[in-house]
Structure 1
């Protein structure tokens, strides 16, 4: 008999217990659905329900997100997330694995696929290329020591700031709706339900660690990241929303850093969360590509 929903599983990476939702069907090919920043694994539930009959679907919570542990140091470099993904694939012996990822999850997955091209069967990245060339150029206008001073100050603020508390679930739900006006009421309700924890005083707070906001300045250079993109060998689909703030790589030139195995689609009436905003069309495209 099919499960009503996924089971909660965990693995250890960097001395931290990390959570993932496992949708069963273990004899099927493995498929990882990886969420974005300040999100959680249950944001993939609708997609997982569509795919679970043909795939062994696993949806990890990134460290510091959802039901995964927080970094003890509050330090969240992107390559630490890449290590966690590598550990999940290694420990569960999933390679070659198919990956569908959003935003930060896409950034992580593209780097992993460049590091271990033989381990990824196919890859879909929804707005996952990171900062645009304009943002990179603007960042380079500041000397490196200024970036580090800003990071230290931001870390201090994060350490002294208590997670925001909402007096009611409805108040948190309203905040979710404000973040993405394309969400239906049912989508917003579900996403908020799995995004909040209830505090001892009865208020609600988001599950993610406040320190995930504070990006350390010592990431790979854009040139190194682009080198990893060029090493991806699996069929790769990049997806963008035409109403999103994210920069489309066909327009800003970054798509040239990939090989001939990459393709791109963009959606009208969709923002940063294409997989929510145009769900039916997204799933149709996803099934055809996979």
Structure 2
């Protein structure tokens, strides 16, 4: 699926974050129990193009672009930390009248899901964390560098997209899919996008996961991890498994940080099996 085809299926609404009204884009398809997929940095809802659509026959599938990403607001006037993203997602859930959800989060989206599951235990029925930021596992050096104003001031759009292309092609398992790489880079290919990515990067605040006690998670939890991730190593998933009472760890071989793209079929199978276990 090309990125344009994906973005054509997105709606948008206004969410409030720290008294800022921000446009948030999201896909909302299917009926049944709400199943939310949330991406991380520097991706977008397009990360889930090979996973989320497979669940629309059985679930109400909701796939947001975090604020500052994808088709959501990118201007330079608001916090993009996972604390703020949690607030944005919670407002979206309220607007969509979602009393409870099954929450699937990757990377920063996993950090948002972890916080939300701790703060709103009655609102999360199942929690799936994939190569998620947690504890003090993040941010990685590449993201820290992008968050430095001096880095962005000395970088033009072409240099940024070249850097991102190198990161994706160098870390995806096997041959990278051109549509995926181009789709992830396209959102940042403007001056507004360049600044937005920098602001997203500088908003990566370790305190927002170190302040959370994973043992407070009451939701049934699946740690569905790319086993060869160099950014969020599987040892952090093992630590989460030990701290969360009802947690199971599945490590997918031949998958790095971008596990929904590296192993989409296996990811779908493991997720469907986990979600179906309580039906």
Write the distance in 1 (CA, Å) between the matches of 2:241 and 2:260.
Answer: 21
- Pick closer, same or farther for the CA change 1:29–1:129 going to 2, 3 Å: same
- Pick closer, same or farther for the CA change 1:285–1:179 going to 2, 3 Å: same
Whether the 8 Å contact between 1:173 and 1:189 is mirrored in structure 2 is no
Q: CA deviation at 1:156?
A: 3.9
Write the distance in 2 (CA, Å) between the matches of 1:61 and 1:234.
Answer: 24
> Alignment RMSD, CA only?
3.4
Q: Does residue 7 of the first structure (1) align with residue 10 of the second (2)? A: yes
Residues 223-244 of structure 1, C-alpha deviation per residue, up to 9 Å, x if partnerless?
x312xx2222111101222211
Q: SS at the partner of 1:13?
A: strand
Please tell me whether Structure 1 or Structure 2 has the larger radius of gyration of its CA atoms: 1
Q: SS at the partner of 1:122?
A: strand
Whether the 8 Å contact between 1:165 and 1:205 is mirrored in structure 2 is no
Whether the 8 Å contact between 2:237 and 2:249 is mirrored in structure 1 is no
- Pick closer, same or farther for the CA change 1:263–1:63 going to 2, 3 Å: same
Alignment-derived partner of residue 243 in structure 2: 257
Q: CA deviation at 1:194?
A: 5.4
Write the distance in 2 (CA, Å) between the matches of 1:250 and 1:218.
Answer: 14
Alignment-derived partner of residue 183 in structure 2: 193
TM-score using structure 1 length: 0.76
The match for 2:263 among 254, 275, 278 is 278
Write the distance in 2 (CA, Å) between the matches of 1:17 and 1:236.
Answer: 31
Q: CA deviation at 1:255?
A: 3.1
Alignment-derived partner of residue 116 in structure 2: 112
Write the distance in 1 (CA, Å) between the matches of 2:192 and 2:169.
Answer: 17
Q: SS at the partner of 2:61?
A: strand
The match for 1:61 among 62, 65, 76 is 65
- Pick closer, same or farther for the CA change 1:252–1:43 going to 2, 3 Å: closer
Q: SS at the partner of 1:209?
A: helix
Query: 5 Å matches for 1:231-250?
Result: 231-245=216-230, 246-249=232-235
Write the distance in 2 (CA, Å) between the matches of 1:34 and 1:188.
Answer: 22
- Pick closer, same or farther for the CA change 1:205–1:79 going to 2, 3 Å: closer
- Pick closer, same or farther for the CA change 1:255–1:158 going to 2, 3 Å: same
Whether the 8 Å contact between 1:173 and 1:188 is mirrored in structure 2 is no
- Pick closer, same or farther for the CA change 1:174–1:159 going to 2, 3 Å: closer
- Pick closer, same or farther for the CA change 1:217–1:204 going to 2, 3 Å: closer
Q: CA deviation at 1:18?
A: 3.2
Q: Does residue 213 of the first structure (1) align with residue 201 of the second (2)? A: yes
Q: SS at the partner of 1:124?
A: strand
- Pick closer, same or farther for the CA change 1:216–1:107 going to 2, 3 Å: closer
Equivalent pairs counted in the alignment come to 260
- Pick closer, same or farther for the CA change 1:218–1:7 going to 2, 3 Å: closer
Q: CA deviation at 1:248?
A: 2.5
- Pick closer, same or farther for the CA change 1:161–1:219 going to 2, 3 Å: farther
TM-score using structure 2 length: 0.79
Q: Does residue 165 of the first structure (1) align with residue 153 of the second (2)? A: no
Residues 39-82 of structure 1, C-alpha deviation per residue, up to 9 Å, x if partnerless?
11112111122111111111111111111113634643321111
Residues 143-192 of structure 1, C-alpha deviation per residue, up to 9 Å, x if partnerless?
xxxxxxxx9xx65426735552269x9x689536524332655x331442
Residues 255-287 of structure 1, C-alpha deviation per residue, up to 9 Å, x if partnerless?
33212x111111211111111111111110111
Whether the 8 Å contact between 2:115 and 2:209 is mirrored in structure 1 is no
Whether the 8 Å contact between 2:256 and 2:262 is mirrored in structure 1 is yes
